[in-house]
Amino acid sequence: MRNPKPRNIDPMIGNIIKNFRSEGRFKQEVFKVMILFLTEEEMKQLRQSFRYFDRDNTGYISVEELKEAMEELGHKMTKHELDTIIGQLKLDKNRKMLNYSEFLSALIDQKHLSTKERLWMAFRHFDVDDSGYITADNINEAMIRSGRRIPEEEIQRMIKEFDITKDGKISFNEFLNIMKPEETQYELPFKQDKELRKEVESNSLIDGDFTTPNSSGKQH
C-alpha cells in the first residue's frame, strides 16, 4: 500500500535533498546524535517526510521513489542531477536504498535544527570524561556505548576532520567552527573556549532540557 502525500509536507524538503552534500564521517556521526535532541513535533515532521518518500512503506527509499517524490515537489531532474543526489546520499550497500537514519541525517543539517545549544549537547555526548575536549579515546568510548566499534585509523581521521589547531583533540570552538561555519563569530581566532562553553551552557539551561544520553543529568 502506497503512502499518501501528507497535507503539511514542507516543500523545502525537496530543496534540502537536492542541495545536500555528504559530510565527513565525524560530522555524520554528530548529526545522528543530534536526532536524539529533536522535539516530538520536529521528529513527527521528519517521519512524515520519510513516509512521503518511502512510497511502498518498506522502511527504505529507492531511487525510483526518490525521483518520483522529488518531481512531485517540483524538482524535474535530469539523469545527471539524480545521479548527483544519489552519489551524495548514503545508500544502504546491500539494498541500494536510503534508510531512515541516513535520511534524517541528510535533513537535520538545517539552521533551525542545528542550534548552538543542540551542538553543545552533541559535543558533551562525545566528551565522555567531561574534559572539555573530544579525544580519540572519547570517540571510541562513545561508539562502544552505542554498541558500535570503529577502527582506530578511522577514529583518527574523524579527529583530524575537526582538529583545526592540530593538537590531537577537539575543543568546543573547533567543533562549532566545523558544524556551523556560516557563523563567522567562530572563525579563527576563537573566543576563549571556556567563555564560549559557559555562554552556550547558560543558554541551554535557560532553554530547558540540558542532558545527553551519557550524562545522566550531570551539569557543568
* Per-residue confidence (pLDDT) for residue 169, from 0 to 100: 96
What is the rounded CA–CA span in Å between residue 220 and residue 211?
11
pTM score over 0.85:
no
* Per-residue confidence (pLDDT) for residue 142, from 0 to 100: 96
Mean pLDDT of 109-135: 86
What is the rounded CA–CA span in Å between residue 176 and residue 119?
7
Categorize the per-residue pLDDT at 5 as very low, low, confident or very high, splitting at 50, 70 and 90. Answer: low
What is the rounded CA–CA span in Å between residue 13 and residue 49?
8
What is the rounded CA–CA span in Å between residue 80 and residue 83?
5
Task: Say which range, 101-110, 142-151, 201-210, has the weakest mean pLDDT.
Answer: 201-210
Q: What is the pLDDT of residues 52-110, one digit of tens each?
A: 999 999 998 988 898 899 999 888 888 888 888 877 776 655 667 888 887 887 787 66
Longest dimension (CA), the chain: 56
Helix (DSSP H) and strand (DSSP E) numbers for the chain: 11, 4
Mean pLDDT of 119-136: 94
Mean pLDDT of 189-202: 54
What is the rounded CA–CA span in Å between residue 77 and residue 68?
10
* Per-residue confidence (pLDDT) for residue 186, from 0 to 100: 43
